[in-house]
Structure 1
Amino acid sequence: MLTRPRSLETARERTEAVTEPIRSSVTSLTPRENIYNLPNLLTVSRLIAAPVTAYLLVHDQYTWALALFAYAGITDLVDGWLARRWKQQTVAGSVIDPGADKALMIILTVTLAVKCAIPMYLATLILGRDASLALAAIYYRYASLPAPKTFMRYWDFTLPSAEVHPTTVSKYNTFLQLMLIGSTLALPVVTGSSHGLGILQGADLHQAMTYFQWLVAGTTAWSGLSYAFLKDAVTILGSDEELKAKQGARGRAIIGVTFGSLVAAAVWYAVNDDEDGTTEPAF
């Protein structure tokens, strides 16, 4: 009676002695990155700046909102330059950096759409593109994550599984979207329509903004669809080429179906716009 617990304990110790080296070997084979560096810190600060900018905009603090938006734009340039110069590029950074850009774009797009500063069709395209890419990213992350696929490992970005390579048109589109948001934020400041600086007080820039909105709408549609057709936009890490090809095709199909539907919806909004696509800002 007294030897049975002792036997169980001995068996457990032997099992642990055998499995521990195996567990350690598996852990050591999984590559990890150091994500705690200045470029990633700047990226995270830009992520935090997004809701703060929207808060200022909602409370009609246009000058401060424009200033914080400018900070976000500057850090967007600086963090990538520092990462390349200091050789601190990480897969996590390649995911968080565009994520911060998109968070800023999504939050401000929603805010400006609510304030009637941008038309509904344009907001549909911008938000729809990001939503489609986000759905595909969720799939890519899960499909390419090395086993075991657990909830904690899914959100552990020190475990690289796929790399995103923005397409050329996507880079131009991101720049144009940021310029549009910045111009829309600056409009009440430079015209003095909402207690701004009044540099161009009395100027009617709404027609020019409408043309700019059309340009951004076109490049946004082109950019989103490019991810559905270009195979090198996302690189899935791994050695099974056949499996990676299937995963890539499925991800592109997700983007094509979802964003293609939203492009059609945006066209419908634009055609049926009672104001012919011209949106008068609420400020």
Structure 2
Amino acid sequence: MQTVLGTILDPAADKTLMTTLTVTLAMQNMIPMPLAIIILGRDVLLSLSAFYIRYTSLPSPKTFSRYWDFSIPSAEVHPTGISKINTFLQLALMGTTTISPILPLDLGYTLPALQVIVGTTTIWSGLSYIFTKDAVRVLSNRKPSQKPPS
């Protein structure tokens, strides 16, 4: 069942997992630092944008308790197609990188290629939220029966 809280917690859990994996693998020098910065930077910018959109779209009065009251929906964020592909590719990269030391295969060309693809889709995904018309929809605080002001 989809709830307002669920639409917040599910992406937050994904971001927590991806952040933990990215930081851990970067600290172990298993993924390049520039790639880690791209992945983490996108997530930080999207999170800050979400906080800003929540604040600007929240109907008055804008109080701290109303800001965190998820029964008051103010905006919807819909993942873009490239964002879903990017999440899959990031998880594939993190999983492959994590198990690569114990695999009997040489991934000498595969991992760097996957890293470039993930870096590209991560940037593309971040930009898609800016340029995709339906990615973010501010909900109106008018009731459906009300007519717009003339």
Scaled by the length of structure 1, the TM-score of the pair is 0.48
* 3-state secondary structure, aligned to 2:7: helix
Runs of 4+ in 1 over 2 A off after TM superposition: none
**Corresponding position: 1:110 with 2:12:** no
Q: Is the 8 A contact 1:91 1:163 kept in 2?
A: no
Q: Is the 8 A contact 2:59 2:141 kept in 1?
A: no
Cα displacement string for residues 52-72 of structure 1 (whole angstroms, at most 9, x for unaligned residues) = xxxxxxxxxxxxxxxxxxxxx
Q: 1:227 to 1:103 in 2, by over 3 A?
A: same
Calculate the aligned-residue CA RMSD, in Å. 1.4
Q: State the one-letter code of the partner of 1:231.
A: K
Equivalent residues in 2 for 1:195-234, closer than 5 Å: 200=104, 203-234=105-136
* 3-state secondary structure, aligned to 2:137: strand
Unmatched 5+ stretches in structure 1? 1-87, 192-199, 241-283
Equivalent residues in 2 for 1:26-175, closer than 5 Å: 88-175=1-88
Compute the displacement of 1:179 (Å). 0.7
* 3-state secondary structure, aligned to 1:235: strand
Higher relative contact order (CA 8 A, sep 6+): 2
Q: Distance in 1 between matches of 2:37 and 2:86?
A: 15
Unmatched 5+ stretches in structure 2? 143-150
Compute the displacement of 1:239 (Å). 4.6
Identity of paired residues, percent?
A: 58
Compute the displacement of 1:89 (Å). 0.9
Scaled by the length of structure 2, the TM-score of the pair is 0.88
Q: How many residues were matched structurally?
A: 142
Q: Distance in 2 between matches of 1:214 and 1:122?
A: 8
Q: State the one-letter code of the partner of 2:118.
A: V
